[in-house]
Structure 1
Amino acid sequence: MCRICGSFATRATGQELAAVSGRQRHGGPDAHGAARGPGWSLGCNRLAVTDPTGGGQPYRLPSAPGVVAVLNGEIYNHRQLRARLQALGHTFPDDCDGTVIPALYAEHGPGFVELLDGMFAIALVDLRPDEPRLLLAVDDHGMKTLYYHAAADGGVRFASELPALLAFPQVPAEHRDEALDEYLTTRTCLGQQTALRGIRTLPPGATALATRGGSLRVYRRTPHRSSRAPLGVRETLRREVRRLAQADVPVCAITSGGLDSGLVTALAAEHANETQAPPLHTFHLTYRGEWPGSEHGFARAIARRSGTVHHQVEADPAEFAELLPRTVWHLGQPNADPITLSTYALFRAVRNEGFTVALTGDGADELFAGYDRMRTALAAPPGTGWVAPYVASLAAVPSALRETLYTSDYRAFLADRGTAEQRIAGRLASAGGDRHATLSSFETFQRLPAYHLRRLDHLSMAWAVEARLPFLQPSMAGLAARLPAPLKTGKRALYEAAQGLLPAAVIRRPKQPFLLPVEAMLVRGTPLMALAQDVLTAGPHLDARLSPRGLRALFAAHLRRPTGPSAMALWALLVHELWRQELCALRPAPIRASAAPVLAGAAA
């Protein structure tokens, strides 16, 4: 697990590469490596997980001359791949998973990525004289993010984190006009787009190729399919948990108190017991004091039944106003989910207790239609308008309130270009075919990578912790796709798998997301409210697309009578403005708020 960066078909000085690496060193504190030559560079900050004493990056092999590579992530089938390559005459200096990459490329070319089973972002430079080229690739679910900027002159620059990419002086930090509306409509920018113009992420299951003098071409691979014999849900998940629990560093589990992480916890603890390993350690985050929606009782019940060493992490709300700007910086672009703050605090505790790998239950809701919005949309009778309510449920700020928060110029701009809500609704309505397949595709390949996995990756790696996701392994994803719709709706198959593994109270409890009680915390007299008032009433420094009058009205209404929607709206706006401040700090020179002349004014 690492942080990677580099460039191709352009010059990058050692000082520039060091600056880029420096901004993401928190994710790879164990070693730093870099290589560069005429028109290319590769860098890596390493978090040593597999073969900690080996695995120096960038990777090179005598049997693959001219091939240089860096890896962020884990290749779980590296031992099988190494055995095959050794039979072909390749030798390896260590047992690190990424060491096989140059040899795989030498044997299979760009198609080698389809042989990989894991979570990864890879950058590889082929320097052989016939046609030097760059290859970038990410895993099928986009568990490891790779940001890139492709310049008009053909130069490509990339990094694991957006602030790091901006350390290349040639990469512009320019707000994308549509991004504010996208963010407030879906809680982050979905798909390949980021909040900044010209900076994109590789989509899930993508490989990108560039040659000198040519443009970067991105294509989607055929999804990796597991070759293992099909099993039931519990046995498939058990196999994946056991496989991912193997590491050369300490492994723990995140236990929220819900079904998904509870299943992973129970199976990981079972594995530790059967292999006579030390007891599994589990981590649950709650908040100091009394707050609504606490799940710590359910988490303790799971830990007791599974026999784990349980850590109840009590975050102090008094420090949240201090932690939030740091959290926003690590995210790199706005994400309106309040649990970003909780996630940041949780992984801080995991690292402080000496753990480098954490198993999580992420991805189950998308594969098994666990979200209320998905169940509601699937239950809507044929011929009824399920699309509009579903899209509305994604928002950080309801449509009517968004209208009052935008300036007249920005409303006119959106009327001309179309709103994010209109674009998403149009895409879903025109998909046709099976409603379950349409929703699953959108949730899994649009929302999950951008909103959920990117958040998990950045905030775990902010503390140098590798988060592993058993539910998003090929065998689980393939099994979920094959199940009849009734079994994979509302996570029915997972509830059946949990019988006898989890306490009955956990299985019977209503679904509840891991959350920060922002409605209770964002009220008069709290540090978070003081921060919101300070940041969002900054006058001339406010985003020119937001109406000061609309903001004042939102504050007044919320202070009179706090509600969930108004608290969520203030939270989303606070995160966005903190992100703009962090962006300005990254680039001291003036940053253009927008490239569209229509936004020049700031009318209410």
Structure 2
Amino acid sequence: MCRIFGSLSPAPARPDPAELAAVAARQRHGGPDGHRVLRGPGWALGCDRLAVTDPGGGGRPHRLAHLPGITAVLNGQIHNHTALRRELAARGHRFPDHCDGTLLPALYAEHGPDFARRLDGMFAVAVLDLRAEPRLVLAVDALGIKPLHYHHGADGTFRFASEIPALLAFDGVRTAPREDSLDTVLCLRTPVSARTALEGIGLLPPGATALVRPGRAPVVRRRPPGGQEGAPQAAGGDGGRDVQDLLRGEVRRLAPADVPVCTLTSGGLASGLVTALAAEYARETGAPAPHSFHLALRGRWPGAEQSRARQVARRTRAVHHEVTLDPAELPSLLTRTTRHLGQPDADPAALTAYALFRAARQAGYTVALTGDGADELFGGPARLQAAASAPTGADWAASYADTLGAVPRLLRQWLYTPAYRAYLADEGSAADRVAHELRSCPDGDRRAAVTAFETRWRLPAGPLRRADHLGMAWAVEARMPFCRPAVAARALAPAGPHDRRVLHGAARELLPQAVALRARQPSAPPLAALIAPGGPLLDPVRELLSPERLARAGRVRPERVGALLARQLERPSEGDALALWALAAHELWTEVVRGLRVPLDCAA
């Protein structure tokens, strides 16, 4: 696991080492165990390492003596690296250690840009090939678990980094918040496409490979399904038992590591299943019982899950850690999480995720098994069912898009200034773009269209981005059994379950009944109580939404935001609290971007 970065330019000058050091420093938190940058005429490749596999080996960037001219960097884990190493050794390649990334130059030498189809794991990879005309090949895993951001400058230079703040440290990156970024946050809670909230900065889509040559725009192609990355499997038999067996196999694959491993449990079904199967694996192998971590707010708050997390730990015999977070700390966490995420995010679950990863790292853990991905893959959110069952003739796509928002459509229109409404009428809103994509699905299959959107865009933009960025903020690698290819393929197969009831069946014999059969519950902090008179988040939200700030931005009407805040203070509700939170999250993000010294040519 690492943070990676680099550049390829048509100019022959060597990149400035001070500039590269600044880039690396902005994501060093994700790679505290080693740092190295290589550079040459027109190119640079760097890596900050978090040592997980073969901590004593794995010199990075990866080069092999018998393959001069090929250099690779890796962020992530390649789970089939042992089998690939044997295969490549049989072809005459030799490796100095057992680190998973060491084999990348040889794999690229054998398969060229198609090398990523042979990888099984979560990864963002960059391979620099200098043997003829220089070229850079980038690839990310099929679900986009490991992100890669890039910028193609006016001078023809291509730059990339694992995190947006690091990318912004390149001298040649000139950008500003997109004009539609506020609407995107209010409609979708966070950007959910390859287009980020910053002008000119892209995100390599899930399952994509990009080919970059000096001075040319990147050619980005999505890899066809199949190969080691997993292909859909037919469903059959007892769905609950099938999924339990698949998860059991993936937990056994992900639980072993060369560093300490724990589990994160919310008290819900998916994380409880992962903890139960990790405990089962530990008993069968004679390993110590796993340690589970649960975060709770100090005091009495609505929706607290401590009791169910304890039930999971007792049933599975995990060593349980109940981490208590002082609500007074939430305002400071807000700024930190916003900076680490790099893009605006209106989901308050980011605050508790950051604090939970911090607790795991402070307790000595470098790897955490989580239940992320279960909802999107197994149809947990009610909006998937609603889209599938909407009557013929109804605009199901627009209705589905509305369920994604932090702020309902009518309230958005009421809050926007006339000028911003006119802009969106010309350019189209984020919700309209989502609805259009859904209506364009082949054969009008609503369930397939929604599931594809949830897994290709919402999953990596939401839970996976938070798991990667906030876990690596504390140098913790999040491993997600539900996002393994076999499990994802089982969920997405044409005859697959698409149904949370399958998870209930998988958990029935492993978890307490109160957890195994429980309907999905929100895992976010109770915003209505936190943004209420005396609540710890009221003052920061009020400051971020001051009339002076909002008037300068010119996108929402300050007096109407003030009326919304007054209503929340008089009658606190989750809906109004989320709307205020989304507005505040966007305002804070623009402030953080300014702190990173981005030229705000169209500043919000």
Distance 1:348 1:42, change over 3 A: same
Report if the CA contact (8 A) 2:175-2:599 is conserved.
no
CA deviations over 1:499-550 (Å, ceiling 9, x no partner): 2111111122221021111111111223311111122116157533232222
Residues 442-591 of structure 1: pairs in structure 2 closer than 5 A = 442-482=453-493, 484=495, 487-489=497-499, 491-537=500-546, 539-540=548-549, 542-587=552-597, 590-591=599-600
Give the Cα separation in 2 of the matches to 1:272 and 1:218: 42
Residues 318-337 of structure 1: pairs in structure 2 closer than 5 A = 318-337=328-347
Aligned counterpart, 2:55: 52
- TM-superposed CA distance for 1:387, in Å, is 2.2
Give the letter aligned to residue 8 of structure 1. Answer: L
Aligned counterpart, 1:116: 119
Over aligned residues, Cα RMSD in angstroms? 1.7
Report if the CA contact (8 A) 2:232-2:489 is conserved.
no
Distance 1:197 1:365, change over 3 A: same
What secondary structure does 2:64 align onto? coil
Identity fraction in percent: 55
What secondary structure does 1:71 align onto? strand
Distance 1:370 1:228, change over 3 A: closer
Give the Cα separation in 1 of the matches to 2:216 and 2:398: 42
* 1:69 to 2:72 alignment: yes
- The TM-score with structure 2 as length reference comes to 0.95
Aligned counterpart, 2:81: 78
Report if the CA contact (8 A) 1:181-1:420 is conserved.
yes
What secondary structure does 1:448 align onto? helix
What secondary structure does 1:232 align onto? helix
- TM-superposed CA distance for 1:350, in Å, is 0.5
What secondary structure does 1:310 align onto? strand
Residue from 301, 305, 320 that aligns with 1:295: 305
Give the Cα separation in 2 of the matches to 1:69 and 1:138: 13
Report if the CA contact (8 A) 2:292-2:320 is conserved.
yes
Off by >6 Å, runs of 4+ in structure 1: 227-231
Report if the CA contact (8 A) 2:547-2:559 is conserved.
no
CA deviations over 1:366-419 (Å, ceiling 9, x no partner): 111111111222233444332232111100111122123222211111111122
Report if the CA contact (8 A) 2:175-2:198 is conserved.
yes
- TM-superposed CA distance for 1:233, in Å, is 1.4
Aligned counterpart, 1:172: 174
Residue from 13, 16, 19 that aligns with 1:13: 16
Report if the CA contact (8 A) 1:34-1:44 is conserved.
yes
CA deviations over 1:192-238 (Å, ceiling 9, x no partner): 01110000100000000011233210000022454999892111110
Residue from 321, 341, 362 that aligns with 2:351: 341
Give the Cα separation in 1 of the matches to 2:560 and 2:391: 38
Give the Cα separation in 1 of the matches to 2:95 and 2:453: 41
Residues 25-424 of structure 1: pairs in structure 2 closer than 5 A = 25-128=28-131, 130-224=132-226, 225-226=229-230, 232-424=242-434
Aligned counterpart, 1:602: none
- TM-superposed CA distance for 1:186, in Å, is 0.3
Give the Cα separation in 1 of the matches to 2:57 and 2:560: 57
Give the Cα separation in 1 of the matches to 2:110 and 2:95: 15
Unmatched runs of 5 consecutive residues or more in structure 1: 600-604
CA deviations over 1:322-344 (Å, ceiling 9, x no partner): 11111111111101001000101
Report if the CA contact (8 A) 2:231-2:489 is conserved.
no
Distance 1:395 1:227, change over 3 A: closer
Give the Cα separation in 1 of the matches to 2:512 and 2:534: 39
Report if the CA contact (8 A) 2:338-2:589 is conserved.
yes
- TM-superposed CA distance for 1:44, in Å, is 0.7
- TM-superposed CA distance for 1:365, in Å, is 1.3
User: How many pairs does the alignment contain?
Assistant: 591
Report if the CA contact (8 A) 1:377-1:386 is conserved.
yes
Give the Cα separation in 1 of the matches to 2:188 and 2:327: 26
